[in-house]
């Protein structure tokens, strides 16, 4: 079948740029020409992966009715049934759980080895290292005998972890997937030596990047009736360069990042010269001149000086690169839009177009851009299970099981689309919203659930409210993280609670959680986790949360929608075995394509090379081979963005090499490069036009709403008077529209809460010493006792409590000394006194709460206000901050129900910030009359039907933000714009 003598290995290759699967089928059918139809059924083909298996079956099916060869991915050998006494492999998930348990115990004994947060990353990395040792046939003894040189400290840590898994390499140890793969391959090789198979055996599409696969390829090539077919052999690379590849690797660590290195290595092992490897299928690509140019551009770094001599000799470049365009977009968004435009054109022209990129963010942007024209691409990538609806709910439940419930997480779960999906969804969402507004944003304590049940008891018109509240409390507010439970118990609790949430308070089934393809993938994951849980040890709730999140991130769900048949999105692995009329190689920036090598916590490059393990450069070499294959397609679009979200980008090394080669190879080559860029720039220009706003809406004016008089406020607080002066629009929004900022779901130790706490402390201190102010030491004790009581109730943050307590202790002496002065002239009479007063002649009621009113010994009163920050200046007080002056007017008007001389002879702001000071005035009757006149005029102006409420009239600073700035469209105008009167509700 292969026309080879018994001594020459049967090694074949396909040309760069060819559709490998199509050539494989054509070559096999051609070699079987003249044989009976069933002859092909006796052929056994080992392929690189499952994608290639599916493509080959589709190609054979497209040829019409007939027999199929036996097609099997190489990695599937590890899952074959019992073979020559080789037991089945343990589940990869079970193995990682066992490793996580071993590492957890190791970290408990030696916490300095690694942070516990890295537990599952270490387990994954260690499992990968073990798999590599098995695949490459490297014994742990080889690793232990390495010359560590100056890496003794790091190596000591690595040895501690490797020692924990040494038993996996013993003869009676359970087999990992990689170990069983290696044993099965070695068993096949030994059996073939004694009894070579009579039927044809092929290994196709792999470059032998893994040790076990490499050994299988070598063995099959040596079979009399076997053959190994390599993809994308570079026949334009000189013989000296082929030799240089292996020489660089033998003498150092270079060479593996070249796209042809693995092909050269296999040929060398088989004692063949790469240039003598025959074609599997006699077909010459139409892009041979382009292939030669790319081959020259990708030569190893030590011989790139050959560009100078060979670059100018390249021929037919203009014809070869005419179908190649280069997009260098200013941003990733424009890159995605330009790609979408080209794919749209391909759909119109009936081209089969494939977007190839390892950047999922870019491919999602392209998919979103294609939605403009109703084109749904056939995307081979799935969505992480952690991001599908059911996966998100499982993640939220894992969070809830790991820590005390917080309001944000409770609402996140209750508002999830699958929560209460089996019951009545409408009433559930209404109760959730009301619970948020009535209870959660008032700072209710969730740990006991009493507030939730009390809220439900008050909803007498809501029949199912109490049952719903019981369901919420029992499901989510009584969770006990517990100590270290077995993983089996953790998984069972996790599944049960999630299904309870889906079932709801009045439902009966959790089927919605597992509906559709996403749900089926999620069920498979949870079933696998349940089965493997016995391999894991005891696990804390926090560790389980981290473990489940990492596991769900690593699994994918795929949707079999009805996408466009000819608009495809592939990863680089899919592109290796597929073909298309147009190939779009996108995201060609360093760090994206190729991706940087991942950090190895175990061995550096030199130690890996000494042990015979794979170098990190292998991944770069595979990506380079993918690039070399794809750029030889009939039509190619190369794309990159000049900037990402943060900084300027660097072009991918292969694109950089190609553009440098063309730029330096003479005027013709420079013209070719310029034409490539011009063709790409045309798409960038269209993308810029498409994304540019043609006719922007006119910006909103600075508003001054003018509501009818009947809707204007008739009640204001003394603090709202300052708002009325500085930002009347805020008063309009609150008092006319009835809009108030929502309270945060979780209170934070901000300035407002600190001010409230300080007021409470001073209230408690003054109330405790209202009759007699003791000496400094006793007063300090009373003040700090009051501080501790108040902070214990209002500040549930240990760090904030300590900080605020320290600040009060710092100003305690100032409080005492200033209090002596206040007690010398008066006696505390009212604390936190609330009052209302109708301002004469306005019809507006003024409300206020005085922090403290003292009766002066000489008659009259003093009004004090506590400030955590700096007190207002005299100008601010007269123009804007009139709170104490207004309270003095209220007192004089009888609002506080005091007797005697109702004149206020002193007002003072008691500043208790970092630099404590008191800002005081002794207001004269004329001052108060002036303030009263200004207040009356301001309120009459507010009530006048032809006046507006302008936004940000006199803010303390332009950088100050208001609660209603977004409603006023601030940003479309600024404070220099004139306010526009806007009639509201029928007003003129």
Would you call 379 helix, strand, or coil by DSSP?
Answer: strand
Residue 710 to residue 715: CA distance in whole angstroms: 13
Question: Which phi and psi angles does 775 have, rounded to 5°?
Answer: -70, 175
What pLDDT sits at residue 250?
73
- Give whichever of 314-328, 504-518, 584-598 has the largest mean pLDDT: 314-328
713: left (phi over 0), alpha (psi -120 to 50) or beta: beta
Whole-Å CA distances, 75 to 52, 184, 203, 427: 12, 10, 12, 52
What pLDDT sits at residue 943?
92
DSSP class of 599: P
Whole-Å CA distances, 860 to 28, 348, 566, 673, 922: 111, 89, 90, 91, 11
**In 353-433, at which residue ranges do the beta strands (DSSP E only) sit?**
353-356, 378-379, 383-384
- Find tokens 């298309």 and name the residue: 580
Whole-Å CA distances, 245 to 236, 242, 252, 275: 15, 5, 11, 14
Residue 343 to residue 330: CA distance in whole angstroms: 20
DSSP class of 532: H
pLDDT value at 284 more than 60: no
Q: What is the mean pLDDT of the chain?
A: 87
pLDDT value at 447 more than 80: no
b (16+ CB within 10 A) / e for 381-405: bebebbebbbbbbbbbbbbbbbeeb
pLDDT value at 897 more than 70: yes
% of the chain exceeding 70 in pLDDT: 95
Which of the residue ranges 213-217, 540-544, 936-940 would you say has the lowest mean pLDDT?
Answer: 540-544
The whole-number average pLDDT for the span 753-770 is 92
- Find tokens 């040790």 and name the residue: 211
What pLDDT sits at residue 763?
94
Of 230, 304, 318, 226, which is closest to residue 267 (Cα–Cα)?
Answer: 230
| Kind and range of the H or E run holding 866 | strand 861-867
Residue 90 CA, chain-centre distance (Å), reads: 32
Residue 891 CA, chain-centre distance (Å), reads: 58
Each residue's pLDDT tens digit, 46-93: 998 888 898 899 899 999 888 999 999 998 888 775 566 788 888 888
Of 781, 859, 842, which is closest to residue 815 (Cα–Cα)?
Answer: 781
Q: Which residues contact 789 (CB under 8 A, 6 or more apart)?
A: 764
- Find tokens 């301001």 and name the residue: 938
- Give whichever of 470-484, 592-606, 820-834 has the largest mean pLDDT: 820-834
Q: How long, in residues, is the chain?
A: 988
Contact 383, 519 (CB under 8 A): no
Structural tokens at position 580: 């298309």
Each residue's pLDDT tens digit, 773-819: 999 999 999 999 999 999 988 887 889 899 999 999 999 999 999 99
Residue 718 to residue 888: CA distance in whole angstroms: 11
Contact 215, 185 (CB under 8 A): yes
| Better-scored residue on pLDDT, 178 or 684 | 684
What pLDDT sits at residue 286?
53
Preceding omega of 594 cis (within 30 degrees of 0)? yes
Widest CA span of the chain, in angstroms? 126
The whole-number average pLDDT for the span 3-8 is 65
What pLDDT sits at residue 987?
41
**What is the pLDDT confidence band of residue 697, given thresholds at 50, 70 and 90?**
confident
Contact 261, 249 (CB under 8 A): yes
Of 463, 475, 380, which is closest to residue 419 (Cα–Cα)?
Answer: 475
The whole-number average pLDDT for the span 568-594 is 85
pLDDT value at 247 more than 70: yes
Contact 179, 133 (CB under 8 A): no
| Better-scored residue on pLDDT, 816 or 956 | 816
pLDDT value at 988 more than 50: no
Structural tokens at position 982: 């806007």
What pLDDT sits at residue 696?
66
pLDDT value at 5 more than 60: no
The whole-number average pLDDT for the span 458-475 is 90
Residue 631 to residue 626: CA distance in whole angstroms: 9
Contact 487, 533 (CB under 8 A): yes
Strand partners, 11: 228
Which of the residue ranges 96-110, 180-194, 421-435 would you say has the lowest mean pLDDT?
Answer: 96-110
pLDDT value at 490 more than 60: yes
Contact 196, 220 (CB under 8 A): no
The whole-number average pLDDT for the span 186-209 is 91
DSSP class of 651: B
| Better-scored residue on pLDDT, 3 or 224 | 224
Whole-Å CA distances, 113 to 118, 119, 270, 547, 957: 11, 11, 44, 20, 53
Contact 435, 426 (CB under 8 A): no
b (16+ CB within 10 A) / e for 618-644: bbbbbbbbbbbbbbbbebbbbbbbeee
What pLDDT sits at residue 120?
80
Which of the residue ranges 135-144, 331-340, 437-446, 938-947 would you say has the lowest mean pLDDT?
Answer: 437-446
Of 575, 400, 566, which is closest to residue 472 (Cα–Cα)?
Answer: 400
Structural tokens at position 924: 């004269």
Query: What is the end-to-end Cα distance of the chain in Å, rounded?
Result: 96
Which of the residue ranges 387-401, 553-567, 633-647 would you say has the lowest mean pLDDT?
Answer: 553-567
pLDDT value at 552 more than 80: yes
**What is the pLDDT confidence band of residue 151, given thresholds at 50, 70 and 90?**
low
Q: Which residues contact 195 (CB under 8 A, 6 or more apart)?
A: none
Residue 255 to residue 241: CA distance in whole angstroms: 11
**What is the pLDDT confidence band of residue 676, given thresholds at 50, 70 and 90?**
very high
Contact 657, 298 (CB under 8 A): yes
What pLDDT sits at residue 527?
93
Strand partners, 202: 45, 227
Structural tokens at position 527: 């079933």
Strand partners, 229: 12, 204
- Find tokens 């490459």 and name the residue: 136
% of the chain exceeding 90 in pLDDT: 50
Contact 219, 188 (CB under 8 A): yes
**What is the pLDDT confidence band of residue 501, given thresholds at 50, 70 and 90?**
very high
| Kind and range of the H or E run holding 686 | helix 667-691
Structural tokens at position 378: 């056939």
| Better-scored residue on pLDDT, 156 or 713 | 713
Residue 812 to residue 818: CA distance in whole angstroms: 10
The whole-number average pLDDT for the span 864-875 is 84
Q: Which residues contact 386 (CB under 8 A, 6 or more apart)?
A: 392, 395, 549, 552, 553
Of 597, 590, 595, which is closest to residue 653 (Cα–Cα)?
Answer: 590
Contact 123, 100 (CB under 8 A): yes
What pLDDT sits at residue 595?
83
Structural tokens at position 402: 């790991």
pLDDT value at 283 more than 80: no
The 3 state secondary structure assigned to 149-180 is CCCHHHHHHHHHHHHHCHHHHCCCCCCCHHHH
pLDDT value at 760 more than 90: yes
The whole-number average pLDDT for the span 488-508 is 90
What pLDDT sits at residue 585?
95
The whole-number average pLDDT for the span 392-401 is 94
Q: Helix, strand, coil % (nearest 5) of the chain?
A: 50, 15, 35
DSSP class of 237: S
Residue by residue, DSSP assigns 812-842 as HHHHHHHHHHHHHHEEEEEEEEEEEEEETTT
| Better-scored residue on pLDDT, 656 or 381 | 656
**What is the pLDDT confidence band of residue 288, given thresholds at 50, 70 and 90?**
confident
| Better-scored residue on pLDDT, 538 or 734 | 734
DSSP class of 709: G
């Amino acid at each position: 079948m292969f026309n080879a003598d018994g001594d020459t290995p049967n090694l074949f290759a396909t040309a760069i740029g060819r559709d490998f699967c199509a050539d494989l089928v054509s070559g096999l059918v051609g070699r079987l020409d003249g044989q009976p139809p069933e002859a092909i059924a006796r052929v056994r083909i080992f392929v690189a992966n499952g994608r290639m298996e599916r493509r080959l079956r589709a190609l054979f099916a497209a040829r019409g009715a007939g027999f199929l060869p036996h097609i099997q991915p190489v990695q599937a050998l590890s899952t074959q049934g019992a073979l020559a006494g080789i037991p089945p492999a343990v589940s990869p998930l079970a193995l990682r759980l066992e490793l996580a348990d071993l590492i957890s115990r190791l970290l408990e004994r030696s916490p300095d080895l690694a942070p516990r947060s890295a537990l599952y990353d270490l387990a994954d990395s260690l499992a990968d290292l073990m798999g590599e040792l098995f695949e490459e046939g490297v014994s742990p003894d080889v690793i232990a005998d390495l010359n560590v040189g100056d890496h003794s400290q790091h190596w000591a840590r690595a040895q501690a972890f490797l020692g924990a898994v040494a038993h996996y390499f013993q003869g009676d140890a359970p087999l990992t997937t990689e170990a069983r793969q290696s044993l099965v391959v070695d068993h096949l090789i030994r059996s073939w030596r004694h009894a070579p198979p009579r039927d044809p055996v092929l290994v196709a599409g792999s470059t032998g990047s893994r040790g076990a696969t490499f050994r299988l390829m070598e063995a099959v090539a040596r079979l009399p009736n076997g053959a190994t077919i390599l993809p994308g052999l570079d026949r334009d690379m000189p013989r000296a360069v082929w030799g240089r590849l292996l020489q660089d690797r033998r003498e150092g660590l270079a060479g593996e990042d070249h796209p042809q290195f693995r092909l050269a290595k296999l040929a060398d092992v088989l004692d063949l010269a790469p240039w003598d490897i025959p074609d599997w299928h006699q077909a010459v690509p139409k892009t041979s001149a382009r292939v030669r140019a790319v081959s020259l551009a990708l030569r190893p770094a030590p011989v790139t000086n050959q560009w100078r001599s060979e670059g100018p000799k390249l021929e037919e470049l203009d014809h070869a690169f005419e179908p190649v365009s280069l997009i260098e977009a200013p941003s990733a968004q424009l890159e995605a839009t330009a790609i979408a435009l080209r794919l749209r054109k391909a759909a119109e022209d009936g081209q089969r177009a494939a977007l190839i990129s390892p950047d999922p963010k870019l491919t999602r942007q392209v998919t979103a851009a294609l939605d403009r024209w109703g084109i749904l691409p056939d995307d081979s990538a799935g969505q992480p299970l952690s991001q599908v609806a059911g996966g998100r709910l499982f993640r939220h439940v894992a969070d809830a099981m790991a820590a005390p419930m917080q309001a944000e997480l409770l609402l996140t779960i209750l508002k999830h689309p699958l929560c209460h999906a089996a019951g009545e969804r409408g009433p559930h969402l209404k109760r959730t919203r009301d619970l948020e507004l009535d209870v959660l944003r008032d700072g209710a304590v969730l740990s006991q659930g009493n507030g939730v049940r009390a809220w439900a008891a008050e909803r007498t018109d809501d029949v199912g409210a109490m049952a719903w509240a019981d369901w919420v409390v029992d499901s989510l507010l009584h969770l006990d993280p517990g100590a270290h439970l077995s993983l089996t118990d953790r998984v069972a609790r996790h599944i049960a609670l999630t299904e309870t949430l889906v079932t709801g308070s009045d439902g009966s089934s959790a089927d919605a959680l597992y509906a559709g393809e996403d749900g089926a993938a999620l069920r498979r994951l949870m079933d696998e986790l349940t089965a493997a849980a016995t391999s894991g040890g005891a696990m804390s709730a926090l560790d389980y949360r981290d473990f489940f999140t990492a596991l769900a991130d690593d699994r994918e769900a795929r949707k079999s929608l009805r996408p466009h048949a000819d608009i495809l999105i592939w990863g680089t692995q899919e592109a290796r075995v597929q073909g298309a009329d147009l190939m779009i190689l996108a995201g060609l920036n360093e760090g994206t394509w190729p991706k940087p090598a991942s950090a190895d916590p175990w061995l550096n490059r030199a130690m890996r090379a000494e042990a015979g393990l794979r170098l990190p450069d292998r991944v770069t070499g595979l990506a380079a081979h993918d690039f070399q294959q794809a750029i030889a397609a009939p039509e190619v679009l190369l794309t990159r963005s000049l900037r990402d979200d943060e900084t300027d980008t660097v072009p991918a090394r292969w694109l950089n090499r190609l553009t440098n080669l063309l730029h330096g190879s003479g005027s013709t080559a420079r013209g070719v490069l310029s034409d490539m860029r011009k063709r790409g720039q045309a798409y960038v220009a269209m993308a810029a036009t498409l994304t540019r706003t043609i006719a922007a809406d006119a910006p909103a004016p600075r508003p001054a709403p003018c509501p009818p008089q009947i809707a204007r406020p008739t009640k204001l607080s003394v603090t709202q008077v300052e708002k009325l002066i500085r930002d009347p629009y805020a008063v309009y929004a609150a008092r006319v529209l009835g809009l108030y900022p929502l309270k945060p779901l979780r209170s934070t130790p901000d300035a407002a809460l600190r001010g409230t706490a300080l007021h409470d402390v001073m209230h408690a201190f003054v109330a405790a010493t209202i009759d007699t102010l003791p000496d400094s030491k006793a007063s300090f004790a009373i003040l700090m006792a009051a501080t501790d009581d108040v902070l214990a109730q209002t500040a549930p943050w240990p760090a904030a409590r300590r900080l605020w307590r320290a600040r009060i202790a710092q100003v305690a002496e100032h409080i005492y000394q200033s209090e002596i002065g206040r007690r010398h002239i008066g006696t505390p009479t009212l604390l936190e006194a609330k009052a209302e007063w109708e301002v004469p002649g306005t019809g507006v009621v003024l409300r206020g709460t005085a922090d403290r009113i003292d009766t002066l010994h000489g008659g009259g009163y003093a009004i004090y206000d506590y400030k955590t920050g700096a007190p207002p200046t005299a100008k601010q007080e007269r123009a804007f901050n009139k709170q104490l002056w207004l309270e003095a007017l209220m007192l004089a008007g009888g609002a506080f129900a005091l007797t005697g001389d109702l004149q206020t002879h002193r007002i003072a702001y008691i500043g208790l910030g970092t630099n404590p000071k008191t800002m005081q005035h002794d207001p004269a009757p004329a001052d108060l009359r002036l303030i009263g006149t200004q207040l009356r005029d301001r309120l009459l102006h507010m009530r006048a039907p032809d006046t507006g409420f302008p936004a940000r009239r006199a803010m303390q600073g332009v950088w100050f933000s208001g609660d209603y700035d977004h409603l006023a469209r601030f940003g479309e105008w600024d404070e220099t714009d004139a306010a526009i009167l806007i009639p509201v509700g029928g007003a003129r």
